[in-house]
Amino acid sequence: MKVKVQKQVIESILINLQPFLEKKDASQITSHIFFNANENECTIKACDLEIGLSINTKHIKVEENGICTANGKKLLDIIRILKDDEITLEVLDNSLVIKQKKSKFKLPIFDASTYPALPQTDNKTQITLDSLQLIQSFKKISPAIDTNNPKFELNGALINIKEKSTDIVGTDTRRLAISTINSASSKELAIIVPKKAILEIQKLFLDKISIFYDNVNLIISNDNYYFYSKLINGKYPDYARIIPTSIKHNLKLPKKDMAEAIKMMSTISQDIKLTINSNNIIFHALSSDNLEAKTELEINTGISEIFEISFNSRYILDFLYQIDDDIFEMNLNEPNLPFVVKSNEFMTIIMPIIL
């Protein structure tokens, strides 16, 4: 195999492939990136057997067809220190040789024929969803997805396809984020996608994607990228029962002013108390270190009696940073019960802090 490529092209590809490499054991072939140079196209892929990505490009000049592997991290380290110019990659004497003018590096290669194949779309069901809305929904709910929870299903997002809509759901048990896509489907479906996959999908894809699944894998592809992730095998919590069925107070609040006030208080403490009066909202930082912070927002709330509620500021800010509208809803019942913040088809149910 022999190819020539501009530094910025190969560097960008290698950066995109880093999250898919085996990091702990360099002796494993999954710590390597796989190259397949064939005529006027090159396919470069990485996978750690749980998640994988293949990239097709015609921006690499193939001088000699062939396949090879090389350690993905080491190769990127080498490419990064080279100049912004053409680079030659060539297999010689059981090594990958990287050359640029008077500079030359060698990396050992493994038997490329043993590199794991990515799962294919054959015999898999295709999901029909608006691609842009799906990726935007992933972005909205991803902060709420838990990490390293012993209940494995909470370490992923639920895609719940129903007859007339699809819910994309994430929770860390202290908050529940739901983004709803209005879409008709003849078949109901519920799959759990790992958080790592959700985050990588957001980086790689914008719209115009094809989505396939079976009981084991989710596959997403477009003209250049072919991505797969193993699904989480488990039963997602019945999130619908967490959503309050009645509302005692419905507030329409300005996103910008609320975000500024909450962020200001969070410099002292992540835990915030709101005191809601009929014509203002008072924000207090809840600090155990004798630090104090307070600010006030003048607004007609429509609440006749004083209402106090405390919460983790990060949960509200994560919601506010994901919405486009200038006004959002806050639905309250009692200070010790979950409350809802909502904007169009996106909501977050938050457990309050009980003082």
228 falls within a domain: yes
Alpha helix locations (H) across the chain? 7-17, 72-81, 131-141, 195-204, 255-266, 313-320
One domain, residues 170 and 63: no
Chain position carrying tokens 């609040």: 253
One domain, residues 107 and 136: no
Q: How far apart are CA 162 and CA 169, in angstroms?
A: 13
119 falls within a domain: no
Q: Of all helices (H) and strands (E), which one includes residue 307?
A: strand 307-312
Q: Of all helices (H) and strands (E), which one includes residue 331?
A: strand 327-332
One domain, residues 52 and 148: no
One domain, residues 230 and 257: no
Domain final position from 114, 138, 167: 114
Q: What is the pLDDT of residue 290?
A: 82
One domain, residues 101 and 129: no
One domain, residues 55 and 44: yes
Bridge partner residues of 217 (DSSP) = 230
Domain final position from 114, 135, 164: 114
Burial class (CB in 10 A: 0-12, 13-18, 19+), 117: exposed
Q: How high is the mean pLDDT of the chain?
A: 96
Q: How far apart are CA 247 and CA 265, in angstroms?
A: 27
Output the CA–CA distances (angstroms, integers) from residue 75 to 19, 33, 55, 64, 161, in the order listed: 14, 9, 16, 20, 41
One domain, residues 189 and 237: yes
19 falls within a domain: yes
202 falls within a domain: yes
One domain, residues 94 and 135: no
- Indicate the number of domains in the chain: 3
And the tokens for 212?
């396939």
One domain, residues 217 and 203: yes
Residue ranges with strand state E in 39-162: 41-47, 51-57, 61-64, 66-71, 86-92, 95-100, 103-108, 125-127, 156-161
Are 206 and 135 contacting, i.e. CB atoms less than 8 angstroms apart?
Answer: yes
Q: pLDDT of 8-58, one tens digit each?
A: 999 999 999 999 999 999 999 999 999 999 998 999 999 999 999 999 999
One domain, residues 254 and 301: yes
**Domain membership of residue 54 as a residue range:** 2-114
Q: How far apart are CA 310 and CA 269, in angstroms?
A: 12
Domain final position from 90, 114, 138: 114
Q: How far apart are CA 333 and CA 205, in angstroms?
A: 39
36 falls within a domain: yes
And the tokens for 207?
């719209």
One domain, residues 249 and 223: no
One domain, residues 258 and 223: no
34 falls within a domain: yes
Q: Encode the chain (355 residues) as per-residue pLDDT tens digits.
A: 999 999 999 999 999 999 999 999 999 999 999 999 999 899 999 999 999 999 999 999 999 999 999 999 999 999 999 999 999 999 999 999 999 999 999 999 999 999 999 999 999 999 888 889 999 999 999 999 999 999 999 999 999 999 999 999 999 999 999 999 998 887 889 999 999 999 999 999 987 899 999 999 999 999 999 999 999 999 999 999 999 999 999 999 999 999 999 999 999 999 999 999 999 999 999 988 888 999 999 999 999 999 999 999 999 999 999 999 999 999 999 999 999 999 999 999 999 999 7
Write down how long the chain is: 355
Residue 139: which CATH number? 3.10.150.10
120 falls within a domain: no
Cross-sheet strand order for the sheet of 210-213: 66-71, 32-38, 41-47, 51-57, 225-230, 217-221, 210-213, 125-127
